[in-house]
Structure 1
Amino acid sequence: MRIDCHVHIVGTGTGGTGCWYRPKGLTRIGEPFLVKAVGLTTGDLHGPEFDQIYEQRLLEFVRGATLIDRALLLAHELPHREDGTPLPERSSLYVPNDYVLELARKHSEFLAAVSIHPARKDAMEELEKCLAGGAAALKCLPNVQGIDWNNRRYTGFLERMAEAGLPLLAHTGSERTMPVMDHALASPQVLKLPLEIGVTCIAAHAGTGMMLLDPDYLDAFVEMLAKYPNLYGDNSALAALNFRLRPSALRQLVAAEMEGRILHGSDLPVPSSGFLPWAFRMLPWRDYRTARVIANPLERDARLKQMLGFGEATFHGAAKVLRGA
Structure 2
Amino acid sequence: MKKILLLALALLMTSCSLLYGKLGGDFDYEPSEYEKLPKHVREFIEKSYDGIDLKKLRDTHLHIVGLGNSGSGIWVNPHMKDWFNHLSKYNRFNVYMTASGVDDESQADEQYIARLTELMRYQPHFIPAYALAFDYHYKLDGTIDLEHSEFYVPNEYIAKVVKENPVNFKMVASIHPYRQDALEELEKWAAQGVRFVKWLPNAMGIDPSNKKVLPFYKMMKKYDMTLISHAGEEKAVEGDKFQELGNPLRLRPALDMGIDVIISHAASRGKCADLDNGGVQAECSDLFWRLFKEKKYEKNLFTDLSALIIYERLSQPLIEMIENKQFHSRVMYGSDYPLPAINWIYRTTDLVEKGFITEEERDILNEIYSINPLLFHFVALRTVRHPKTGEKLTDEAFEMPTRLLKK
TM-score normalised over the length of structure 1: 0.90
Which residue of 317, 329, 333 maps to 1:249? 317
Tell whether 2:136 aligns with 1:78. Answer: yes
* Structure 2 residues without counterparts, runs of 5 or longer: 1-54, 81-85, 272-280, 385-391
Structural mapping, 1:163-178, within 5 Å: 163-178=222-237
Change (3 A) 1:206 1:155: same
Which residue of 294, 301, 314 maps to 1:231? 301
Residue of structure 2 equivalent to 1:160: 219
State the number of aligned residues. 316
Which residue of 300, 317, 321 maps to 2:400? 317
Change (3 A) 1:25 1:160: farther
Structure 1 residue 66, shift from structure 2 partner: 3.0
Q: Which amino acid letter does the alignment assign opposite residue 64 of structure 2?
A: I
Which residue of 352, 365, 383 maps to 1:278? 352
Q: Which amino acid letter does the alignment assign opposite residue 105 of structure 1?
A: K
Residue of structure 1 equivalent to 2:374: 298
Residue of structure 2 equivalent to 1:150: 209
Q: Could you say what the CA RMSD is over the residues aligned between the two structures, in angstroms?
A: 2.1
Structure 1 residue 30, shift from structure 2 partner: 2.3
Change (3 A) 1:297 1:319: farther
Give SS of 2:115's match: helix
Give SS of 1:16's match: coil
Change (3 A) 1:106 1:288: same
Change (3 A) 1:182 1:237: same
Which residue of 32, 37, 40 maps to 2:99? 37
CA-to-partner distance for each residue in 1:145-180, whole Å, 9 max, x for gaps?
A: 111111122212112212222111111112123222
Structural mapping, 1:258-273, within 5 Å: 258-270=327-339, 271=342, 272-273=346-347
Change (3 A) 1:201 1:318: same
Change (3 A) 1:190 1:205: same
Q: Distance in 2 between matches of 1:292 and 1:51?
A: 28
Q: Is the 8 A contact 1:68 1:302 kept in 2?
A: no
Structural mapping, 1:15-54, within 5 Å: 15-22=70-77, 23=80, 26-38=88-100, 40-41=101-102, 43-44=103-104, 46=105, 48-54=106-112
Q: Distance in 2 between matches of 1:26 and 1:172?
A: 23
Tell whether 2:280 aligns with 1:206. Answer: no
Q: Distance in 1 between matches of 2:151 and 2:350?
A: 28
Change (3 A) 1:320 1:297: farther
Between 1:192-201 and 1:314-323, the stretch displaced more is 314-323
Give SS of 2:399's match: helix
Q: Is the 8 A contact 2:58 2:127 kept in 1?
A: yes
Between 1:69-78 and 1:134-143, the stretch displaced more is 134-143
Tell whether 2:362 aligns with 1:288. Answer: yes
TM-score normalised over the length of structure 2: 0.73
Q: Distance in 2 between matches of 1:125 and 1:139?
A: 16
Change (3 A) 1:226 1:74: same
Structure 1 residue 290, shift from structure 2 partner: 1.0
Q: Which amino acid letter does the alignment assign opposite residue 120 of structure 2?
A: V
Change (3 A) 1:146 1:129: same
The higher radius of gyration belongs to 2
Q: Which amino acid letter does the alignment assign opposite residue 315 of structure 1?
A: F
CA-to-partner distance for each residue in 1:160-207, whole Å, 9 max, x for gaps?
A: 212222111111112123222422112111210000111111111111
* Structure 1 residues without counterparts, runs of 5 or longer: none
Q: Distance in 2 between matches of 1:27 and 1:160?
A: 36
Give SS of 2:288's match: helix
Q: Is the 8 A contact 1:67 1:303 kept in 2?
A: no
Q: Which amino acid letter does the alignment assign opposite residue 30 of structure 1?
A: R
Q: Which amino acid letter does the alignment assign opposite residue 335 of structure 2?
A: S
Which residue of 283, 286, 289 maps to 1:219? 286
Q: Distance in 2 between matches of 1:238 and 1:54?
A: 24
Q: Is the 8 A contact 1:4 1:68 kept in 2?
A: no
Which residue of 87, 90, 105 maps to 2:145? 87
Structure 1 residue 322, shift from structure 2 partner: 5.0
Q: Which amino acid letter does the alignment assign opposite residue 289 of structure 1?
A: D
Give SS of 2:213's match: helix
In percent, how many aligned pairs have the same letter?
29
Structure 1 residue 26, shift from structure 2 partner: 4.3
Q: Distance in 2 between matches of 1:69 and 1:12?
A: 26
Deviation >6 Å, runs of 4+: none
